[in-house]
A and B are shown apart, each in its own frame.
Chain A
Amino acid sequence: MLIDLPRFVNAERPHWQALEDLLKRFENDPDLRLPVDEAQRFHYLYQRTGAALSRISTFASEPELKRYLEWLVSRAYSVIHGKADRRRFHPWRWFTVTLPTTFRRRFHAFQMSVALTLLGCLFGVIALAIDPEAKSALMPFAHLAGRPSERVAQENANKGKNLDGHKTSFSAHLMTHNTQVAILTMGLGISYGIGTIIMLFYNGVILGAVAFDYVMDGQTVFLLGWLLPHGVIEIPAILLGGQAGFLIAHALIGWGDRRISRAQRLRAAAPDIVTIIGGAAVFLVWAGIIEAFFSQYHEPVLPYGVKIAFGCAELAGLIFFLWKGGTAPEPRG
């Protein structure tokens, strides 16, 4: 196709500039809604620029111009063919409706997280039962190294004062560290889920080994009083991280969903992944506060019964929230 290129560029440039200006408006305001006449003009400019790209594509001399037009057309294409129902983010609605409904919709992935953690727990229990010497390998943490009864005596003697002056920073440390663990558990889903499986299993091993160690040493009540208040939120939050990780893995593998491409599957899964990991982060903020300001107090400062009851109430609230949250109440009569 023969065209007088300089004249063509000069004639078309104002249209390209107009399209670019409109695209900038969309970029500055993702919720922009154009009036009908402007929308028609936008579509016209898109088509005109697309036509210019087709004409220039057979022309050898202007690779930069071709790239520029491709860039314009691709941006306009993404605006025209993008989601039309982009809504403003409402945090309360997201937390009370989107999170629990997404959780339920993707429940299979959560079940897998729970199953792997329980499997890890079982392994931790059996491993410690068979070989008590393996304790340092199974629980490589200094505060868990000694006998549980010694720790309980020490904690009771401290009366929760060992964290005086550090509770807030300890809480912040817990929040950030646990959130990183949840993100890591999610992110490892990119290894087709293998990394997520290992993370969940390993967490389960530690949990099972610690529980077995305390139970065998006769410290079951202390264990429940210590772990339940924050653990009933913290552990499900890590499981949510695993759930999000399995969503990535599922989108990569495409089991039962191979009619659409991997790219489409990943794009479709992204909102659910973000919702679930966001929910995990919120739960971990709560767990961090509870662990620093509540869990560290033991008898005689706080009776174990109160701590256990508090933990049970939290668990019941969490289950109710995830099971019933976001569902409209039944109409009366």
Chain B
Amino acid sequence: MEFALPLAGPLSRLMAMLTDLLVIMAIKQVIGIVKDVFVAVNPDSSQALEILLYFAVSILYAILCELLLDGQTLGKRIFKLRVVDATGLRLEPSQIIVRNLLRLIDGLPMFYLFGGITCLLNTKMQRLGDIAANTVVVRVPEIAHPDLDKILGSKYNSLLEHRHLCARLRQRVTPEVAAIALEALTRRDRLEARARLTVFAGLSAHFRELVEFPPAATESLGDEQYVRNVVEILYRAA
């Protein structure tokens, strides 16, 4: 059995990281307030406590979150990302600690430059910490069902009469192309007229190439309607 997980993109990771940064800053703010309360009692100890807690929060926040939330920090949870072992095995605590300790190197020389560049150059989108710990950050998928009635309308689908060709089409169209076709229909109103013609002409030509339906079933169909009919075959008429 083969399975693949969708890697998290650099933008979503950046957003999750900024969210975590905000959380850390908020915690540090609270530490600062607590320190201000105790500074009158013992300035030296309260200063020491502040230094230690700042450091502990900076280092331990991500480690504890990922340990307790199974590979997620609060930012990752919001943006539906998760740290997993790169080979599909169970994520070990030591991997979580190593990847987070290496943030110190990823952050060099400033603004996560090393980590960011490594992430962009790496085929698995790994920053240095991920490489050292053999982890990747993936997107957590959810089942999403598009509103097909709204997208496809209720026109007669002449292609459906040829059930064996429909079955062949379902076998030959890749999930990625099917998703592109559905996306094109969903966004058709946002496309400029010329761009819309180009997109549907391309998709239609691709589908026509994959399976040849009898001319009687296709001759009156424009490119967009052809794509609409194909999407209906793929998504609804199984």
**Which A residues have a C-beta under 8 Å from some C-beta of B?**
1-6, 27-28, 30, 50, 53-54, 57-71, 73-74, 77-79, 81-83, 89, 165-169, 171-173, 175-176, 179-180, 183-184, 186-190, 195, 248, 252, 263-264, 266-267, 270-271, 273-274, 277
Chain A residues in 8 Å Cβ range of B160:
none
Q: Which of A3, A60, A171, A186 contacts B234 (CB 8 A)?
A: A60
Known: A65-B143, A173-B51. A74 touches B175 (CB 8 A): no
Tell me if B38 counts as interface (CB < 8 A to partner A): no
The B contact surface, by secondary structure, is: helix
Chain B residues in 8 Å Cβ range of A66:
175
Minimum CB–CB distance from A164 to chain B (whole Å) comes to: 9
CA distance A6 to B143 in the complex (A): 13
Chain A residue with Cβ nearest B6: A67
CA distance A50 to B2 in the complex (A): 9
Which of B102, B128, B140 counts the most chain A CB atoms within 10 A?
B102
Chain A residues in 8 Å Cβ range of B49:
172
> Would you mind naming 12 contact pairs between A and B with Cβ atoms under 8 Å apart?
A27-B70, A53-B3, A61-B170, A61-B178, A65-B143, A67-B141, A165-B43, A169-B47, A172-B47, A248-B98, A267-B95, A267-B133
Q: Is the CB of A70 within 8 A of B89?
A: no
Tell me if B11 counts as interface (CB < 8 A to partner A): no
Q: Which of A167, A179, A270 contacts B98 (CB 8 A)?
A: A270
14 further contact pairs, Cβ within 8 A, besides A82-B92, A187-B105, A263-B87: A53-B3, A59-B238, A61-B235, A78-B84, A81-B88, A83-B90, A83-B92, A89-B93, A166-B47, A169-B45, A169-B47, A172-B48, A188-B105, A270-B98
Chain B residues in 8 Å Cβ range of A5:
238
Tell me if B24 counts as interface (CB < 8 A to partner A): no
Chain B residues in 8 Å Cβ range of A173:
51
Q: Is the CB of B141 within 8 A of A71?
A: yes
Minimum CB–CB distance from A144 to chain B (whole Å) comes to: 23
Q: Which of A62, A71, A168, A171 contacts B5 (CB 8 A)?
A: A71
CA distance A169 to B97 in the complex (A): 27
Q: Is the CB of A59 within 8 A of B170?
A: yes
Tell me if B30 counts as interface (CB < 8 A to partner A): no
Minimum CB–CB distance from B164 to chain A (whole Å) comes to: 10
Tell me if B20 counts as interface (CB < 8 A to partner A): no
Q: Is the CB of B90 within 8 A of A81?
A: yes
Chain A residue with Cβ nearest B181: A60
Minimum CB–CB distance from A187 to chain B (whole Å) comes to: 4
Known: A81-B89, A180-B104. A64 touches B47 (CB 8 A): no
Chain B residue with Cβ nearest A261: B87
Minimum CB–CB distance from B97 to chain A (whole Å) comes to: 5
Minimum CB–CB distance from B238 to chain A (whole Å) comes to: 4
Chain A residues in 8 Å Cβ range of B102:
187, 190
Chain B residues in 8 Å Cβ range of A67:
6, 141
Known: A53-B3, A60-B177, A168-B45. A183 touches B101 (CB 8 A): yes
Q: Which of B19-74 contact A (CB under 8 A)?
A: 43-45, 47-49, 51-52, 54-55, 59, 70
Tell me if B123 counts as interface (CB < 8 A to partner A): no
Tell me if B220 counts as interface (CB < 8 A to partner A): no
CA distance A5 to B88 in the complex (A): 28
Chain A residue with Cβ nearest B72: A27
Chain B residue with Cβ nearest A66: B175
